[in-house]
Chains A and B, each alone.
Chain A
């Protein structure tokens, strides 16, 4: 497999031209994008399988798992999907949005490798710690609220994973620095800018994670006697919600990327789209306060300021993207001569049969209407009183992270793997990757796309012609 990851037809400088986007891809970037994305897909598979155990236990007629096993499956489900699937994909997205889009080699590839190894090791450690949880420890679920103890190895794994991600993100920041050194008068492409904002939000969240998990680890192994429950909640949600903010910013970056490369979308207003990304940077982190709306010890004014005024700054940014991305699709497709017939001809004529496009489009629509709206409603202080810690909460975040982020990232996987494996063993490795995706469809996220994926892969040359018509 390592051989497949390394092969390909590159020029002497290590570049090749992407047959679909026309981007100049460097071997070093491709190698790590493949590595992180494939690992993410494995985590998706593990998380998807654990979902079956969670669902069949909650369905009391079947009641599959015992009580301790249920909480372990639930924790494995949470960590593999909400953290490992998403974060491994997000590092891949940063490498796509940074060096790949800019046509640069990946700087400091050794750091990327070290970061990857730490993340992978920590992910295995966390899964191991969850699977072997015994009294007095409890399975951590996602939140591992202090003072309920979780296994010490779990906290250690969380710290190592965070450090691993920080190391893996450094080559992205170096890329941006090198680009600005070389071309001080060029503005970063929008996708790179979105990835840059994502990386800054990620760094904030990750530092919050260290502030949370390092003292918690010390507390669990007895070096700190007491850890305050309210302190933990406030610190934890810097990363607990912060990691979801990374998902959001990364997902929207991917929306701009994929609607462009498979739908022909353009950017209608660079100014507004970029202002919207900057709004996330300033407002969305304060939104983490909505997790504390039903908490004691926090003044109402603080709750109101952070969860309404500040959050609506971020919601406004999402509203801008909600306009800009469909508008960009319409304008771009009309410019290319699609859909001259009727008001929505540009939309009906879009490549819906291509799972890259349909996954992205459904992700955009379902994220906004189910995940986004339920989130804004639940973030209202007094309504939160009636929703807090009920099934409405998993309902909401499955709207955001499954229907939104997972569908979008699956679209990216459908797009990236065939492209990146072209001429480098696609037949060998493409088939297992397709099978891996099948595993996920079995979990019921998108029954539709499976036969289409197969068709699409078989029909790749004809899609290639359509792409070339766009003149990238």
Chain B
């Protein structure tokens, strides 16, 4: 044992730690490896992952892609029914361009996510359990494509949860998942 305030002159490196401390270090190291393995494994075996390719894109070009996508789909009173498996969403101060949409439960869509102006958050919450949510970061200049499937039909609320200006608190939208 030694004082943490006094310089050392002996060879402290050669003094072994107690076996309890060594055991503790080994338990901690193995626990860390298990967590590491689990995080990687969940990418392959889990259904909840934020993995998908990103493309650099000028916000104006992204806007024109979104317009073309909207024209290809069917506009209804509830929202846009996309023509295919692609869903385009663009965040802007203070709303979500491309929403509301009407999706089919159990079908996998390719969500294309970007922003027209500043950084935004895309927080998706089922209306029957608003505290359950997932969040993705939306950046201007980047188009992020993530496969998503919603199994439970219902209304899903979308809110921005990245501070984006004084209208941030009212920035919200919905989409509907049908049977």
Give residues in A with beta carbon < 8 Å to B: 21, 23, 67-68, 71, 101-102, 135, 138, 141, 145-148, 183, 185-191, 228-230, 233, 256-257, 260-261, 265-272, 293-298, 300, 304, 307-309, 312-313, 315-316, 319-320, 323-324, 327-328, 331-332, 335, 376, 380-382, 385-390, 472
Binary contact track B46-68/A, C-beta < 8 Å → 1, others 0: 10111100100000000000000
The answer to whether B32 and A148 touch across the interface, beta carbons within 8 angstroms, is no
**Assembled-state Cα–Cα distance A429/B7 (Å):** 33
Q: Are A267 and B50 in contact (CB under 8 A)?
A: no
- B15→A270 contact, CB < 8 A: yes
Q: Is the CB of A272 within 8 A of B137?
A: no
Nearest-neighbour CB distance to chain A for B53, whole angstroms, equals 9
Which listed residue, A304, A315, A335, touches B39 by the CB 8 Å rule?
Answer: A304
**Cβ of B49: which chain A residues have Cβ within 8 Å of it?**
300, 381-382, 385
Chain B: residues with CB nearer than 8 A to chain A?
A: 1-9, 12-13, 15-18, 20-21, 24-25, 28-29, 32-33, 35-36, 38-40, 42-43, 46, 48-51, 54, 113, 115, 117-119, 121, 123, 132-144, 161-166, 169
Closest 6 CB pairs of A and B: A312-B32, A296-B144, A319-B28, A187-B8, A190-B4, A270-B12
* Chain B residues positioned under 8 Å from A294 (CB to CB): 50, 135-137
Q: Say whether A186 contacts B8, CB under 8 Å.
A: yes
The answer to whether B54 and A297 touch across the interface, beta carbons within 8 angstroms, is: yes
Q: How far, in whole Å, are A149 and B8 apart by their CA atoms in the complex?
A: 52
Q: Which residues of B contact A267 (CB under 8 A)?
A: 1-4
Contact check: which of A228, A266, A272 meets B17 at CB < 8 Å? A272
> What residues of chain A lie closer than 8 Å to B29, measured between beta carbons?
316
* A312 and B162 alpha carbons, distance in the complex (Å): 28
Q: How far is the CA of A447 from the CA of B166 in the complex (A)?
A: 36
Asked whether, in the complex, the Cβ of A389 is within 8 Å of the Cβ of B134, the reply is: no
Chain A residues with Cβ under 8 A from B39's Cβ?
Answer: 304, 307-308, 380-382
- Known: A271-B13, A272-B21. Is A389-B162 also a contact (CB below 8 A)? yes
Do B141 and A271 touch (CB < 8 A)?
Answer: no
**By the criterion CB–CB under 8 Å, are B6 and A189 in contact?**
yes
Please tell me if the beta carbons of A297 and B12 are within 8 angstroms of each other in the complex. Answer: no
Question: Which of A102, A188, A267, A328 counts the most B-chain CB atoms under 10 A from its CB?
Answer: A267
Other-chain residue from B17, B38, B40, B143 in contact with A271 (beta carbon distance below 8 A): B17
Point out the residue from A230, A268, A296, A390 that lies within 8 Å of B135, measured CB to CB: A390
28 A-B contacts (beta carbon < 8 Å): A71-B166, A101-B5, A145-B119, A148-B164, A187-B12, A189-B3, A189-B4, A189-B5, A189-B8, A191-B5, A230-B141, A230-B142, A257-B4, A266-B3, A267-B3, A267-B4, A268-B21, A269-B18, A271-B17, A272-B17, A300-B49, A320-B25, A331-B1, A380-B35, A382-B42, A388-B137, A389-B135, A389-B162
B87 CB to closest chain A CB (Å) equals 16
What's the least CB distance linking A181 to chain B, in Å?
14
Chain B residues near A272 (CB-CB < 8 A): 17, 21, 25
| Shortest Cβ gap from A61 to chain B (Å) | 17
Q: Are A148 and B5 in contact (CB under 8 A)?
A: no
Is A183 in contact with B21, judged by CB distance below 8 angstroms?
A: no
Residues of chain B with a CB closer than 8 A to A312's CB: 32-33, 35-36
With A187-B12, A380-B35, A385-B136 already in contact, 12 other A-B pairs whose C-beta atoms are closer than 8 Å: A23-B5, A67-B166, A138-B165, A147-B140, A230-B142, A267-B1, A267-B4, A304-B43, A307-B39, A312-B33, A332-B1, A382-B48
Q: A297-B54, A300-B51, A381-B50 are in contact. Are A256 and B139 (CB under 8 A)?
A: no
| Residues of the B chain whose Cβ atoms lie less than 8 Å from the Cβ of A257 | 4-5
**Residues on B with beta carbons closer than 8 Å to the beta carbon of A315:** 28, 32
Most-contacted residue by chain B among A23, A185, A230, A331 (CB, 10 A): A230
- Alpha-carbon gap, A294 to B50, bound state (A): 7
Query: What B residues does A307 contact at CB under 8 A?
Result: 39
Complex CA distance for A266 and B33, rounded to whole angstroms: 31
Q: Which B-chain residue is minimally distant from A193 (CB atoms)?
A: B4
